[in-house]
Amino acid sequence: MADFRRPHESVDYRRLTGRLPPPPEYLHTAYLADPETIAATQLERVRGRAHAAFEVPFFRRRWEAAGFHPRELGSLDDLAAVPTYTVDDIRASIDAHPPYGDYQGVSVEQARDQPMRIYMSGGTTGRSRPTLYTAWDREAGAILTARALYMQGIRPGDVVLNAWAYSTHNGAHAMDEALYRWLNCVVISTGTGNVTPTRKQVELAVEYGASAILTTGDYLLHLADTAVEMGLDPRTDLRLTALPNIGDKERLHAVFGAPVYDSYGFHEVQWVAIECPAGDGLHIFEDAFIVEVLDVETGQPLPDGQQGTVCVTEIYKTGSPQFRYNIMDLSSRYPPGQCACGSWLRKMAPFAGRGDNMVKLRGVNIWPEALGEVVTELDGVTDDYFVVASRDGHRDEMTISVVSDRPPDQFDDLAATVEARLHQATGVRIGVEVVGPGRLDHLTGFGTAAKLIRFRDDR
């Protein structure tokens, strides 16, 4: 008789799927719930998560300092009284209580009776940020991921190449679990191009009739270019029917012919929101999350329609809480209303950049990703760019490098055009460098990074 509890013994699957219906059941149940039912579900679950979070030293310390107690959550509006926190607070917690910090809801000492996994985000510029996931949290997160993948076109029984990096980050693993455990897909775990060469990935996709390749949009387009070099047509030979990838929607659709839907999620909680075929905002999985949008500088809640930083409270986990986590991603929240698809779920706008990347450039707030949106719309500029903030004496400067496939003798004229367009859009002078294809890969992490880097602060 085992003196420990295995993962399948620690999860009540009937209760799990009752609280978080997987696809396709989800689309006929919680996805179509009325606003009153959604609000009641959220209030019940957020109260439970608040009491659980209050037992975690990180949250208790911050809440007591602010004079907040979970019993004060009488309505969803009362969330505004709960202190927010950012990744900087997590880093401080890890520094004070290495290596796990004091923000975890479980400890590794409980692993015999509470099976868990550890995944990490960050670590490139400092100590890694771990999150401990219970077996329930992993299965629940896989259901959320399966919902998104299903809504993006993947169907049970599909063959899918998972070309994300299997590493300390949970992204590739969460997708693998969703595909295998909740969608009955046949997963070919190729990993990145550094693990399985790009030509081999194309060969596998063709040979096994893959319906989707999960990776960044940039790498998927690189796969398409490689297919062309191999004498293949990306549309007819790859035959992808789903494109659940982060990247240029228009280019991906033009190359592969399949629909592309925006989505939003992050390391600690998996998938948060997904666009439906109506194409008007991303539906938030409100049986698992409460999403607010806060002012970048004051941290106060913003009215619907105004862009600010995304603040997420998860209401589905049993382990490490995320309660009013100001993730510092820029977006806005749509006003309440019923979508053309029939859902009453609140919607948010697609990811629009990082709030903590904001640079005050000669009195003007500049977000690097916003510059990217401006320049990549210009003729002669591809969708590849990199922004650097620097300090010249007492003056902040900014330079954007853009990639062009034009002949090099046209780069100077193109740089002048880009500079003029940026000045028109921002009102300040921003330096411009034009380079050839591939010249920014070492800066953006193309081909190696799960999420491309677009900004570096050298000040």
Same fold, 7-121+130-138+264-348 and 153-260: yes
* Assigned token pair, 259: 């629909």
Mean pLDDT confidence for 395-404: 90
3-state secondary structure of 152: coil
Using an 8 Å Cβ cutoff, are 355 and 368 in contact? no
Hey, which bits of 323-394 come out as E strands?
325-331, 347-348, 359-361, 364-366, 385-392
pLDDT at 449: 61
Q: Which two tokens stand for residue 348?
A: 């948010």
Average pLDDT, the chain: 91
Q: What is the rounded average pLDDT of the residues 77-93? A: 94
CATH placement of domain 7-121+130-138+264-348: 3.40.50.12780
Instruction: Give the three-class secondary structure for 162.
Output: strand
Q: How many CB atoms lie within 10 A of CB 106?
A: 19
Enumerate the domain spans of the chain: 7-121+130-138+264-348, 153-260, 358-457
Q: What pLDDT was estimated at residue 170? A: 87
Read off the pLDDT of residues 221-251 as tens digits, 9 standing for 90 and up.
Answer: 889 999 999 999 999 999 999 998 777 788 8
pLDDT of residue 445 exceeding 90: no
pLDDT tens, 33-43? 999 999 999 99
Class of domain 358-457: alpha beta
Looking at the domain that runs over 153-260, which CATH code has it been given? 3.40.50.280
**Which residues pair with residue 265 across a beta bridge?**
271
Q: Categorize the per-residue pLDDT at 363 as very low, low, confident or very high, splitting at 50, 70 and 90.
A: low
Predicted local distance difference test score (pLDDT) of residue 124: 42
Confidence of residue 125 (pLDDT cuts 50, 70, 90): very low
- pTM, two decimals, is 0.82
Strand partners, 432: 400
CA 35, 39, 43 angle in degrees (round to 5)?
175
pLDDT digits (tens, 9 = 90+) for 146-188: 999 999 999 999 999 999 888 888 888 999 999 999 999 999 9
Transcribe 199-212 into DSSP letters: HHHHHHHHHTT-SE
pLDDT confidence of residue 41: 98
